[in-house]
Amino acid sequence: SVGIYGVMAYSVTQRTKEIGLRMALGAEHADVLRMVLRQGLKLTTLGVAIGLLAAFGATRLIANLLFVSPTDARTFAAISVLLAAVAMAASFLPARRASRVDPLVALRHDS
């Protein structure tokens, strides 16, 4: 979750001018919050999908070392939901910070 938070915070920082411009042109705080959370959801979905494929392949290689079935659907689902929840929580803090950006400060921000 720390890594996800770091990536999201960096992404929001890189987009400070864009967010400030959106706010100056009339975007509401909720619009900016939704935009950043949507970006986090896209990254989370992609990461979970790639992770599931990699985990499914890896469990085939180490099936004899596992205490559960290599294709235990409950385990895969539980871990996927847990990681998605952590990722969305880690995305919320930078999204909330971005929604509170003062447009004048953001437009003066040097990248």
Please report, in tens digits, the pLDDT of each residue of the chain (111 residues total): 788 778 878 887 788 788 888 888 888 889 988 888 898 889 889 989 999 999 888 888 887 777 767 777 888 899 899 888 888 888 888 888 878 878 887 777 665
C-alpha to C-alpha distance for 91 and 26, rounded to whole angstroms: 23
Give SS3 for 102. coil
Question: Which residues, in sequence order, are CB contacts of 63 under 8 Å at separation 6+?
Answer: 70
Residues in the chain: 111
* pLDDT (0 to 100) of residue 49: 94
* pLDDT (0 to 100) of residue 6: 83
CB 111 within 8 A of CB 15: no
